[in-house]
């Protein structure tokens, strides 16, 4: 089958370039200890590589089959590739997508295909959409264009590898290739192994997405019980019957990357070449960064396979990138519920670190458990536990805890007397929170703190104070009003405000 795939890649040359041009191979200008080259498929007509396989497959259909039209299922990029091909070839395409497909991807398919495309939303998963598309194919006698398990589709995807070789920047020592259904991995690895026999091919799968590794372990394609969809372009429950034996033979090693590691790779691509790929597009780089210490002096190639991402996913990526790059950790501290303890925590325990997240609500009259996200160099973070123990500060690691991820901040309003809540604005710099807490130390006690770094020049935090008496509260309010800090006080009745914050 590999010989047939090589033949299909050769034949695909005469087809795919009638639709679009080759994409560049770009070297990352950053000191990693190895040379890292990125194939920029985000610069293709649909901002992803899938047009290659879709067009190569559809361009071979007879006039009679094109007249009847085609049908496919996709959660995004393949659908756009089929839509583009349908418009170029003058055929009609029925595209089945899950109901949960982001509006951005639905609109992109309709924009690219125009009147040549019909979009049908079916089911809650790709598998349900694919089942309906295959039923329509059989019932109506129209050609089904598979997203990956087809030799013509794989042949089109393989032109990526051909372009890598023709770039003249090889030979390469290691290929990190992401795997979903296996079409991209099978074709690119096969071609590069043919041209560079000594290249090591590492197949990269997302955590809770490792369907190809599972197939190799079982000796046949098997369905995963659960598939994480953060990297939605590779979220495939079961690999193809054609892609499996090829990947089994040409991939030397399988490895997984976490969502946090992928997010860190996305941040690196933005910081270096100002590109924001979709999560699956950064999986290869994430794996290379994970193996950085073992790649010294090597020439590495990865594929940025797409950049079609819902805008709202950027927030999740930003939050996770620091954890994935080992420069950010979340810790829950145990300190006394008394004035000055938060300031002592910052001064004695976290001196030298950036505070990027602060989650705290009063839940006890004696003890408190604030959660802080701290940012610093990887070596400094490794030494942080020793620094905290030396300061006699109790803590626990909560970086991956769900309550931290979803910002669940417990708060007992009944424990708070004479409250005063403000939205504070402060310069987003190291030590700014410490300076504020130092300026308000005295009779005010912090009973609530909700802050998260956003990348703006100004940081914003919702802070609650409580006081032993109404007189001291009023004195504090007057002092804040005459000070230099920018803030907005909540004007609602304290009890109502507390109920809303406490949920």
Count Cβ atoms below 10 Å from residue 124 Cβ, excluding itself. Answer: 10
Q: What are 223-254's pLDDT values in tens digits?
A: 999 999 899 899 999 999 999 999 999 999 99
Percent over 90 (pLDDT), the chain: 71
Are 28 and 102 within 8 A, CB to CB? Answer: no
Q: Which two tokens stand for residue 474?
A: 């009023």
Percent over 70 (pLDDT), the chain: 97
Q: Is 455 left (phi over 0), alpha (psi -120 to 50) or beta?
A: left
d(CA 313, CA 331): 25
pLDDT at 95 (0 to 100): 97
pLDDT at 238 (0 to 100): 94
Tell which wins on pLDDT, 491 or 84: 84
Residues near 492 by beta carbon (within 8 Å), at least 6 away in sequence: 500
Are 421 and 488 within 8 A, CB to CB? Answer: no
Instruction: Report the pLDDT averaged over residues 446-475.
Output: 90
Instruction: Look up tokens 């091909």; give the residue.
Output: 85
pLDDT at 301 (0 to 100): 98
pLDDT at 267 (0 to 100): 94
pLDDT at 331 (0 to 100): 95
Please say if the pLDDT value at position 493 is more than 50.
no
pLDDT at 325 (0 to 100): 74
Are 179 and 250 within 8 A, CB to CB? Answer: no
Query: If you average pLDDT over every residue of the chain, what do you get?
Result: 91
pLDDT band at residue 440 under the 50/70/90 scheme: confident
Q: What are 284-300's pLDDT values in tens digits?
A: 999 999 999 999 999 99
Task: Report the predicted TM-score, pTM, of the whole model to 2 decimal places.
Answer: 0.83
Judge if the upstream peptide bond of residue 281 is cis by omega within 30 degrees of 0.
no
pLDDT at 498 (0 to 100): 56
Q: Which two tokens stand for residue 428?
A: 């987003």
pLDDT band at residue 97 under the 50/70/90 scheme: very high
Instruction: Report the pLDDT averaged over residues 104-121.
Output: 93
Please say if the pLDDT value at position 380 is more than 70.
yes
Are 369 and 408 within 8 A, CB to CB? Answer: no
d(CA 293, CA 132): 47
Q: What are 387-401's pLDDT values in tens digits?
A: 999 889 999 999 988
Closest CA to 40 of 48, 29, 31, 32: 48
Q: What are 12-36's pLDDT values in tens digits?
A: 998 999 999 999 999 999 999 999 9
Q: Which two tokens stand for residue 309?
A: 């991402």
Instruction: Report the pLDDT averaged over residues 307-328.
Output: 82
Instruction: Look up tokens 């004696």; give the residue.
Output: 366
Tell which wins on pLDDT, 490 or 208: 208
Please say if the pLDDT value at position 52 is more than 90.
yes
Q: Which two tokens stand for residue 282?
A: 């950064």
Instruction: Report the pLDDT averaged over residues 337-365.
Output: 89
- b/e string for 461-485 if b means 16 or more Cβ within 10 A? bbbbbbbeeeeebeebeeebeeeee
Instruction: Look up tokens 């369905």; give the residue.
Output: 223
Please say if the pLDDT value at position 494 is more than 70.
no
Please say if the pLDDT value at position 484 is more than 90.
no
Q: What are 161-200's pLDDT values in tens digits?
A: 999 999 999 999 999 999 999 999 999 999 999 999 999 9
Please say if the pLDDT value at position 303 is more than 70.
yes
d(CA 280, CA 278): 6
Q: Which two tokens stand for residue 40?
A: 């920029």
Q: Which two tokens stand for residue 51?
A: 């047009």
The alpha carbon of 308 is separated from its chain's Cα centroid by a whole number of angstroms, namely 12
Greatest pairwise CA separation for the chain in angstroms = 87
Judge if the upstream peptide bond of residue 171 is cis by omega within 30 degrees of 0.
yes
Instruction: Report the pLDDT averaged over residues 126-150.
Output: 94
pLDDT at 48 (0 to 100): 96
The string of DSSP letters for 340-362 reads: THHHHIIIIISTT-EEEEEEEE-
pLDDT band at residue 463 under the 50/70/90 scheme: very high
Are 265 and 285 within 8 A, CB to CB? Answer: yes
Instruction: Report the pLDDT averaged over residues 86-97.
Output: 96
Q: What are 413-439's pLDDT values in tens digits?
A: 899 999 999 999 888 888 888 888 888
If you average pLDDT over each of 79-93, 396-410, 444-458, which comes out highest?
Answer: 79-93
Are 145 and 153 within 8 A, CB to CB? Answer: yes
The Cα-based distances of 319 to 145, 230, 359, 373 in angstroms read 37, 14, 14, 10
Alpha-helical (H) ranges within 291-431 are 313-324, 341-344, 378-390, 402-405
Instruction: Look up tokens 């501290």; give the residue.
Output: 333
Please say if the pLDDT value at position 329 is more than 50.
yes
Domains, the chain: 2-48+153-322 (3.40.50.1100), 51-146 (3.40.50.1100), 326-502 (3.40.1020.10)
pLDDT at 499 (0 to 100): 57
The string of DSSP letters for 127-186 reads: HHHHHHHHHHHHHHT-EE--SSSSHHHHHHHTHHHHHHHHTT----SEEEEE-SSSHHHH
Instruction: Report the pLDDT averaged over residues 277-287.
Output: 97
d(CA 55, CA 48): 13
Count Cβ atoms below 10 Å from residue 80 Cβ, excluding itself. Answer: 28
d(CA 405, CA 319): 9
Q: Which two tokens stand for residue 227?
A: 């598939």
Q: Which two tokens stand for residue 317?
A: 């990526």
pLDDT at 76 (0 to 100): 83
């Amino acid at each position: 089958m590999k010989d047939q795939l090589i033949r299909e890649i050769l034949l695909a040359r005469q087809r795919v370039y009638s639709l679009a041009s080759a994409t560049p191979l770009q070297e990352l200008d950053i000191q990693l200890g190895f040379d890292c080259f990125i194939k920029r498929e985000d610069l293709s007509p649909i901002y992803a590589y899938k047009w290659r396989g879709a067009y190569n497959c559809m361009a071979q259909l007879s006039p009679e089959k094109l007249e009847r039209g085609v049908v496919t299922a996709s959660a995004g990029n393949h659908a756009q590739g089929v839509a583009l091909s349908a418009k170029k070839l003058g055929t009609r395409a029925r595209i089945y997508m899950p109901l949960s497909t982001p509006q951005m991807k639905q609109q992109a398919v309709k924009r690219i295909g125009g009147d040549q495309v019909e979009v049908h939303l079916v089911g809650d998963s790709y598998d349900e959409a694919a089942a309906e598309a295959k039923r329509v194919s059989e019932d109506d006698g129209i050609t089904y264009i598979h997203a990956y398990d087809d030799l013509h589709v794989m042949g089109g995807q393989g032109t990526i590898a051909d372009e890598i070789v023709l770039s003249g920047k090889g030979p390469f020592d290691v290929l990190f290739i992401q795997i979903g259904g296996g079409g991209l991995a099978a074709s690119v690895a096969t071609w590069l192994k043919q041209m560079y026999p000594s290249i090591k091919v590492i197949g990269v799968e997302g955590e809770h997405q490792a369907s190809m590794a599972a197939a190799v372990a079982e000796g046949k394609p098997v369905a995963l019980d659960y598939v994480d969809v953060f990297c939605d372009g590779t979220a495939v429950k079961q690999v193809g019957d054609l892609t499996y034996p090829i990947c089994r033979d040409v991939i030397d090693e399988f490895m997984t990357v976490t969502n946090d590691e992928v997010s860190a790779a996305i941040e690196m691509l933005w910081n270096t070449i100002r590109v924001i790929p979709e999560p699956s597009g950064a999986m290869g780089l994430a794996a290379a960064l994970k193996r950085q210490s073992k790649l010294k002096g090597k020439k590495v190639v990865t594929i940025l396979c797409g950049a079609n991402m819902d805008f709202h996913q950027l927030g999740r990526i930003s939050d996770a990138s620091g954890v994935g790059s080992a420069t950010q950790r979340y810790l829950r501290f145990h300190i006394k519920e008394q004035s000055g303890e938060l300031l002592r925590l910052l001064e004695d325990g976290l001196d030298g670190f950036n505070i990027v997240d602060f989650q705290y609500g009063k839940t006890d009259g004696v003890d408190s458990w604030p959660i802080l996200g701290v940012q610093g160099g990887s070596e400094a973070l490794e030494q942080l536990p020793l620094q905290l123990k030396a300061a006699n500060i109790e803590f626990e690691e909560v970086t991956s805890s769900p309550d931290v991820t979803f910002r669940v901040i417990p708060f007992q309003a009944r424990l708070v007397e004479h409250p005063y809540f403000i939205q504070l604005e402060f310069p987003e710099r190291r030590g700014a929170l410490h300076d504020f807490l130092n300026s308000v130390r005295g009779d005010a006690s912090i009973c609530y703190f909700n802050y998260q770094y956003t990348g703006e020049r100004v940081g914003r935090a919702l802070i609650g104070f409580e006081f032993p008496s109404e007189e001291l509260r009023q004195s504090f309010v007057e002092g804040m009003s005459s000070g230099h800090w920018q803030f907005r006080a909540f004007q609602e009745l304290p009890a109502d405000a507390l109920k809303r914050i406490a949920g």
